[in-house]
Amino acid sequence: MGKRGRHIIRPKRKRRIITSVIVAVVLPVLLVGGIALKLAGNVKTIDVDTTAASEPDGPLNILIIGSDSRSAGEGKYGEDDGSGRSDSMVLAHLSEDDSRVDAVQIPRDLTTEVPACEDDGFAGGLSMINATFEYGPGCAVKAVQEVTGVPVHHFVVLDFDGFAGMVDAIGGIEMCLEEPVRDELSMVDLDAGRHELDGEQALALARTRHAFGDGSDIARLEHQQLVMSSIAQKATSQGVLTRPDRLVRLLDAVTKSLTVDDELGSVGDMTGLARRLARVPLSGITFQVMPWQPASFDENRVEMTDEARTLFAALRDDVPPGQEPAAEETTEPADPAAPEQPEQPGSSTGPSAGATTADTSICG
């Protein structure tokens, strides 16, 4: 049976949101005029040939990757061993009507058959999904498209420094913990209760695995999601929106640590995406981990469930997750004698079961 988390900040939870998804919340604020030129100049671009073509103003799917490279941070985030796997992946879907962003976390422990990236030296085969990023974001995009069946139009990569700088730029975030969180490896030591966290503290809380559950990637999903919700709320609060100095620092910090596909890297494309994202309310941004189950071949790895395939099909078809596609109209007249059918649970336009929204209360 697939496993899904419940939205409470405590150990042994099974949902998270990638650090970079906040880009989709805060970028719209300043991507206009002269500041857009400065911010776009910060962003690094990569030319890849694996992204799908998109229609103007059509639905968009963006793969957001949190890089676990230690090359940044001058050793603060661990020894740099030269690897560059993804610390987290989110497939974010922007609906055609700009009313929703459905962000689905793909667990890094997902192990499945992935396609080869011959130009990048990757032979393909059975692999953890996050290993594909070692061969470049284009290879990761190709793998996610193949595994999920969802076309990926753009990618965004954010590193550790960008995450910490983003939190510092908005003046820190508030978190409430039901239990102490301690992990020497991630350098996090927090008592239960309410905390105001700076960038490095928030990053440590988002990264730690050993302080939660069995120390696996799955065990840390829930608290990472709440960290991101807290950032989203603070970044879009009046305390930031009415402070141009904080806004500039925020976007400057984020964009200096961004790498995107070349089609998204221009001022026009980034501004166009920002304008669309600005129309999405916090309540329209949902976070959900991919439904999973222990892999049949290795209990320390996970695999997709049928529920996950249904979820990805909803993204592909631009249908709110958990909602059935609208039935086609029929010319047959309704039977006046037929009893009225009650509304079925789960048939609303709200987020699917197990999902939470960016406006979720952090401290109650």
Of the candidates 288, 286, 287, 280, the one whose C-alpha atom is nearest the C-alpha of residue 236 is: 280
Of the candidates 130, 140, 160, 171, the one whose C-alpha atom is nearest the C-alpha of residue 257 is: 160
Of the candidates 361, 292, 360, 355, the one whose C-alpha atom is nearest the C-alpha of residue 320 is: 355
Task: Report all structural domains of the chain as residue ranges with CATH numbers, in order of start.
Answer: 19-318 (3.40.630.190)
**CA 148 – CA 107 distance, rounded (Å):** 13
Give me the pLDDT at residue 6, please. Answer: 36
CA atoms within 13 A on the CB side of 340: 2
**Backbone phi, psi, residue 146, to 5°:** -65, -40
Of the candidates 146, 159, 78, the one whose C-alpha atom is nearest the C-alpha of residue 106 is: 146
**Backbone phi, psi, residue 13, to 5°:** -115, 165
Q: Which two tokens stand for residue 89?
A: 């992946």
Give me the pLDDT at residue 29, please. Answer: 44
Give me the pLDDT at residue 11, please. Answer: 40
Give me the pLDDT at residue 69, please. Answer: 61
CA angle, 287 as apex, 140 and 220 as ends, to 5°? 75
Give me the pLDDT at residue 110, please. Answer: 94
Give me the pLDDT at residue 324, please. Answer: 66
Contact 211, 183 (CB under 8 A): yes
Q: What residue ranges of the chain have pLDDT lower than 50? A: 3-33, 70-73, 77-78, 80-83, 328-334, 336, 338-353
Cross-strand partners of 89: 65, 106
Give me the pLDDT at residue 271, please. Answer: 75
Give me the pLDDT at residue 246, please. Answer: 76
Contact 226, 9 (CB under 8 A): yes
Cβ neighbours around 168 below 10 Å, total:
17
Of the candidates 193, 307, 185, 172, the one whose C-alpha atom is nearest the C-alpha of residue 250 is: 172
Category of 75 on φ-ψ map: left (φ > 0), alpha (ψ -120 to 50) or beta = left
Give me the pLDDT at residue 148, please. Answer: 97
